[in-house]
Structure 1
Amino acid sequence: MLLSNYFLIGIIVLSLWLYISQRLPYIVVALFTLSGLMLTGEVTTEVALSGFSSSATITIMAMFVLSEGLLKTGSLNGLSSKLIHSTRGSIQRGLFLLALIVAFASAFMNNTPVVMLMVPVVLSLCREHQFFASKLLMPLSFFAIFGGTCTVMGTSTNLLVDDIWRVSGGEGFSMFDFTPLGLVFFTVGLIYMMTIGQKLLPKKQSFSALLPESKKSSFVTEVIVTKSSPLNGRSVVEFGFKGKRIAVVEVIRGEEVYLGEEAHRMKLRESDALIIEGTVQDLTYFKSVAKTKLATVIEDRERVPIRSLEMKFAELVVPPDAMMIGLRVQTLGLNRKYGIKVIAVQRRGRQHHFDLRRFRLKAGDVLLVQSTEEDLEKVKESGEFLIVDHRIKHLQRKHKSKTAVSIMAAVVFAAVFTELPLVSLALLGAGAMISTRCLTVKEAVSAIDANVIFLLIGTIPLGEALVQAGLMEEAVEVLFSFGRELSPIWVVSLLYLLTNLATSLLSNNSVAVLFSPLALGLAAQMNLDPKPFLMAVAFGASACFISPIGYQTNLIVMGPGGYSFRDYFKAGVPLTILLWAIVTLLVPVFWPIQAL
């Protein structure tokens, strides 16, 4: 193998690791990846920059705008309200209605905004009927995945696989080519989530659902001892908490950190920082009686004083596409920008005893904030966070609802009954959404998920780079030598399994980019129709149920549902095995494996 090939493999492995770890913003990883590909000399500039001009990238950008047009006009509000009022106290009924609404919407809209819209609705449903939020939020994500597999425009994975096939000279997929198996996935998944899945899902209530009433939720926050505080000159033991369940985790003085007995018995001074844990009510009581102030961790020193009238607690979830990922909480300036104050941070359903001043955000983190409803509405409008409160609503142009639905319906109709390329129709629809004022230009630009786009720009060239360098051909020969004695059905089955396992570690888009050329190569080596092989890749890359990493919607519900990695694994493994068996049985039925 040539030295440049080793360099190419190193670039691919490093870029994928950086995408997974989120140590650098996606745009930085994408730029380094493209530069590295061109430096190898194995890839032309045109190939390295192919992600920018890919029809899949352009189509996905347009789909973000189309989806935002539907959301900004409140086109799904009626269905959401009907879900809350029609559940009638039955979680099974609620799951069924949720599945129908989410899967239908996800078949024609981007999955991520659908789930972000429905999370507050589901939590409101849980509050009203006293359901465990963890019993509904993971199914919400899974239903969106099932719906996305039903059409070519339902998920970026299908669009990528379709684009790669067309670029290689194939015929591509029609709008509803995926529908037969997609409907089977949806039906089986719904039955599973209403039966076995419910038994495997944990019983955890959302912190947001509990905020108005709960006296049990535990949060960690940081307070500063003021000059007038009764703590100044006294120890924690001397002060006492009068029956309140408040734990002092650590005391920070300058660069020194004191823990345990030492933290409780040391004489406190002005400007000492205390990391304390307790319920929302107890923390509020402590702040008032001890005359401490919330640490400005959360802010820089030039902050706007928080107002005391009509204050409420709410939770903000860091979405997967957030630009603040990797930043410290103190650099966000949320008080200055929106008039809100962060008082605690939560990750993966657990409270972590950390110095908030050094805490860097990751996708799915939950920030407990204190603010007015008016300021929370400003946050909602900014789109920077998912506000886990159904009562906070952004301004919607409901009089444009029929217009937005008509535009989306026209795009789907034209894609089904004409030969016009989907990318052209999606762009036309996006332009129509803006020109008819269903959304503004600023809203359209904000709707485009920059992380997803740069992930595509950085990963689309990787597959072609492997092909041009001859590495994909070598991989095909290795796999073919192992599967030489297997029937084509089992080759397709194993291809699905490998793709599915890979998407549990990588993003679904990265997996689609890397495995689609492999599927085409295997089909060519066996002189068979590539469609069944590509279907295995498309469904395998989308069906991410055993990990929150591979699919954005899984990350979105992780924080509000209080899920751990173990919860996804426990509920997802049986479903993954079940769907693998279905793919093995039905792919040859829907798309016969035949010679070219």
Structure 2
Amino acid sequence: MPPDQLFVCALTLTVMGLFIWEKLPMEIVSLGALLLLMIVPFDGHPILMPENKTEQITILGSIFGNNAVLVVSFMFIVGAAVERTGLVEDLGHWFERLAGRGERRILLSLGVLTIVSSAFLNNTTVVVVFIPMLIGLCKRINLPPSRYLIPLSFFAICGGMCTIIGTSTNLVVNGIVRQRGLEPFAIFDIAPLGIVFSIATITFLLFFGRKLLPDRPSLAALINVDDSREFLTAALVSADSPLLGKTIGETPLAKMRDSHIIEMRRSGNRITTPLKQVRFEAGDRIIFKSHLSGVVDINALKGIEMASKAEMGLSYVQTEQALLMEGMLGRQSKLVGHSLTEQNLRQQYGVIILAVHRQGVNLRENFEDEKLEIGDTLLLEGSAERMRQLFEERDLINLTQPKAQTYRRSRAWIAMLALLMVIVLGCFGNFIPFEWVAMSAALLVTATGCLKTDEAYRSIDWNVITMILGTLALGIAMDTTGAATTIVHGMMSVIGDWDPRLILSALLLLSIILTEVLSNTAVAALVTPLAFGLAGDLGCNWEPFIIAVMAGASIGFAIPAGYQTHMLVFGPGGYRFSDFCRAGIPLDLIMWVLGSICIPLFWPL
């Protein structure tokens, strides 16, 4: 194997190893690989920067100008407009009306609505909207959310397999197909296989899988408190108070057992200095948290007699109820990558973090210095107004109750028109480039005010875009150096005598296994060149092999890290790693068997 092929193979394996290790962000790893391919020379020139300028432009254009990058970006904008105008919220309300109280009826309603919506919208958006509604429904009918949140994620994955625009994986593979000068798939070309997978998933969960799902309480249920038992009380330090000039530790306030100070304000501004270091001044506003028993106002705080309160110079201002709520970190949360100590939420918002749920573990001690991750669930306590401010400013997903938001419902018909335009015109991909259709829809929702310009920029998941760029570069490097051909020839020397249907089944299984440990987008970009090589060496139709990659790169049910929607439901459901394995491994195997049978039937070899 020549040095350039060895380098590409070694770099690909390194990237895959770093993806599995998860210590570095995937987008950084992907862009690092792209950079190495552009600067490490072989025979005087880097792999992606050949001597011929025309070849350079062609290669770089096939990465940065790949239609998959454009379509994914534009579809993020269209999906955000559909959500911002309230259409996704309406879908959630339809689910609440259809679900009823029976377990199987809830699963069936959830499956149908989630699959249909995820076929055309970003599945992360659909899952984020459905999580609080599903949790609220479970609380009202006294059922554990853990019975339904894993199915929610599974259904969202199945919906993405029903259309080309259902997931970025399909768009990446379709982009590679177009780059090779072949006829790309139209929007519903893969629907037959997606529908089979969807029906199988619903059937499995209705009759078998639900027995494998855990009955596990949410994080809030593990904390033995009632949100009506505690109050927040505000008091002012008077001009003649004996507290003046002293710290909390130097006053009787430090001896209160059932009440403690959570916030101080001075001249209307929140004091950000650690409370233990603050010296009281006249006019300081103090926020206490106290148990409800015997507390109506500041004069009833436990541990302080009436006389001593007067001596301390505290005058009553107001009392408000403390709420217990759960919030989850989404992909755009400002808290991701920071610790609670760094963010100092107690000082900034007057909100107390009681516990954190991560990766199946409920952390109730020594979690303040842990770096927060996407999918972490926080158990918070504070006043309604402070909670609202925190959820809005820090992009937390409210799991206790659906986020109150003012939708632009007067423009909902425009967003629906844009989505229908994508669906209808996408059926004519042979005549109208799909990136043009997606761009037109994105321009329509932005120009008409369904989405503001800054909202449009924020709606694009740049982590996904950078990962697509990096993994596309690796796939193109495998092609241009001949590494993909060398690997395929090596594989054919072992499996060349097999029946093509068995080879197709092995390719599907390989894609499924890789998807469980890598990003689905990375699998699509890296395995697609191998699929083309296998089809060419076998002399078979390329379509079933590419469909196998699409399907395999979307099937990732068994490991939480295998799909972003899994991470979103992990914390709210109180799940453990093994919960996904119990329900996901059988479903992975069912999808593999069905795919091995159906793909050659729908797309003959």
Closer, same or farther: CA 348–229 of 1 in aligned 2, 3 Å = farther
Counterpart selection for 2:48 from 17, 39, 44: 44
| Distance (whole Å) between structure 2 residues aligned to residue 444 and residue 212 of structure 1 | 42
Aligned to 1:227: 249
Measured after TM superposition, the shift of residue 31 of structure 1 is 3.3
Letter in 1 for 2:14: L
Deviation by residue 1:176-205 (Cα, 9 ceiling, x = unmatched): 111001101000100101111100011113
Counterpart selection for 1:81 from 86, 93, 115: 93
Aligned to 1:454: 466
Letter in 1 for 2:530: L
TM-score w.r.t. length of structure 1: 0.81
8 Å CA contact retained: 2:30, 2:467:
yes
Counterpart selection for 2:362 from 347, 351, 366: 351
Map of 1:341-420 to 2, 5 A cutoff? 341-352=352-363, 355-381=366-392, 384-417=395-428, 419-420=431-432
Closer, same or farther: CA 18–164 of 1 in aligned 2, 3 Å = same
Map of 1:200-349 to 2, 5 A cutoff? 200-207=212-219, 227=249, 309-320=320-331, 322=333, 324-332=335-343, 334=345, 340-349=351-360
8 Å CA contact retained: 2:324, 2:382:
yes
Aligned to 2:129: 117
| % identical equivalent positions | 31
Measured after TM superposition, the shift of residue 404 of structure 1 is 1.1
8 Å CA contact retained: 2:64, 2:469:
yes
| Distance (whole Å) between structure 2 residues aligned to residue 49 and residue 69 of structure 1 | 29
Letter in 1 for 2:128: M
Aligned to 1:132: 144
Measured after TM superposition, the shift of residue 423 of structure 1 is 1.1
Letter in 2 for 1:93: R
Closer, same or farther: CA 339–408 of 1 in aligned 2, 3 Å = farther
* Larger CA deviation: 414-423 vs 542-551: 414-423
Aligned to 1:13: 13
- Within the alignment, does 1:552 sit opposite 2:552 as a pair? no
Aligned to 2:33: 33
Letter in 1 for 2:34: L
8 Å CA contact retained: 2:37, 2:47:
yes
Deviation by residue 1:215-237 (Cα, 9 ceiling, x = unmatched): 9xxxxxxxxx9626999899xxx
Deviation by residue 1:100-120 (Cα, 9 ceiling, x = unmatched): 111111111111111111111
8 Å CA contact retained: 1:57, 1:456:
yes
Letter in 2 for 1:44: L
- Within the alignment, does 1:147 sit opposite 2:159 as a pair? yes
Secondary structure of the residue that 2:380 maps to in structure 1? strand
- Within the alignment, does 1:59 sit opposite 2:81 as a pair? no
Measured after TM superposition, the shift of residue 548 of structure 1 is 1.3
Closer, same or farther: CA 408–233 of 1 in aligned 2, 3 Å = closer
Closer, same or farther: CA 417–456 of 1 in aligned 2, 3 Å = closer
* Higher Rg of the two aligned structures: 2
8 Å CA contact retained: 2:334, 2:394:
no
Map of 1:160-171 to 2, 5 A cutoff? 160-171=172-183
8 Å CA contact retained: 1:61, 1:453:
yes
Letter in 1 for 2:592: W
Aligned to 2:538: 526
- Within the alignment, does 1:191 sit opposite 2:195 as a pair? no
Secondary structure of the residue that 1:99 maps to in structure 2? helix
Closer, same or farther: CA 39–2 of 1 in aligned 2, 3 Å = farther
Aligned to 1:253: none
| Distance (whole Å) between structure 2 residues aligned to residue 229 and residue 25 of structure 1 | 48
Measured after TM superposition, the shift of residue 334 of structure 1 is 4.3
Measured after TM superposition, the shift of residue 78 of structure 1 is 2.8
Measured after TM superposition, the shift of residue 445 of structure 1 is 1.2
Map of 1:100-115 to 2, 5 A cutoff? 100-115=112-127
- Aligned-residue CA RMSD in angstroms? 3.0
Closer, same or farther: CA 495–228 of 1 in aligned 2, 3 Å = farther
| Distance (whole Å) between structure 2 residues aligned to residue 175 and residue 513 of structure 1 | 19
In structure 1, the gaps of 5 or more residues are 216-224, 242-269, 272-280, 292-306
Measured after TM superposition, the shift of residue 583 of structure 1 is 1.0
Letter in 1 for 2:603: W
Secondary structure of the residue that 2:400 maps to in structure 1? coil
Measured after TM superposition, the shift of residue 394 of structure 1 is 2.0
TM-score w.r.t. length of structure 2: 0.80
| Distance (whole Å) between structure 1 residues aligned to residue 375 and residue 251 of structure 2 | 35
| Distance (whole Å) between structure 2 residues aligned to residue 379 and residue 397 of structure 1 | 23
| Distance (whole Å) between structure 1 residues aligned to residue 26 and residue 202 of structure 2 | 34
Measured after TM superposition, the shift of residue 156 of structure 1 is 0.7
8 Å CA contact retained: 1:321, 1:450:
no
In structure 2, the gaps of 5 or more residues are 50-55, 228-246, 259-275, 278-288, 294-300, 305-317
8 Å CA contact retained: 1:472, 1:518:
yes
| Distance (whole Å) between structure 2 residues aligned to residue 338 and residue 351 of structure 1 | 23
| Distance (whole Å) between structure 2 residues aligned to residue 465 and residue 501 of structure 1 | 23
Secondary structure of the residue that 2:517 maps to in structure 1? coil
8 Å CA contact retained: 1:123, 1:209:
no
Letter in 2 for 1:468: T
- Within the alignment, does 1:442 sit opposite 2:454 as a pair? yes
| Distance (whole Å) between structure 2 residues aligned to residue 362 and residue 148 of structure 1 | 25
Secondary structure of the residue that 2:249 maps to in structure 1? coil
Secondary structure of the residue that 2:163 maps to in structure 1? coil
Q: How many residues align?
A: 525
Aligned to 1:70: 82
